[in-house]
Amino acid sequence: MYARIRPHLPQFFRYLMSGGGAATLELGSFQLMRYLGLWYLGAGFISSGLGLVSAFMFHKYFVFQKKENTRSHLVRYVILQGGNALAQVGLLYLFVEFAHVDPFLGKVLAIGVVVSWNFFLYKFFVYV
């Protein structure tokens, strides 16, 4: 089994690195907007958009190294990320309102849940 997984490991590690960079931008903007007084759900939605743009660029050019078909990749990526953004905001709401988690920790947890399924969706749905 390791022999089947091994060829994908460098790409997966690039995915984790680029996702970490996008998450840093997303979480940093989320905290900045909250500091400036924006409601946590509004900040969550806007920061998800910033994360979407940065992650698309990182994944397309650094992780999956696809320079062609930008329009079709972007359409599939936006569809997937639209669902992800809704899932993140929904999870954020559940974590904050029902589990009484701090909004920042709720955002981190929501991102973690969504990231867990994205590598495979990117590899086999978006960047094909």
Is a pLDDT exceeding 80 seen at residue 1? no
The average pLDDT across 85-96 equals 93
Is a pLDDT exceeding 80 seen at residue 103? yes
pLDDT tens-place string over residues 29-79 = 999 999 999 999 999 989 988 988 898 899 999 998 888 898 999 999 989
DSSP 5-65: HGGGHHHHHHHHHHHHHHHHHHHHHHHHHHHTT--HHHHHHHHHHHHHHHHHHHIIIIIS-
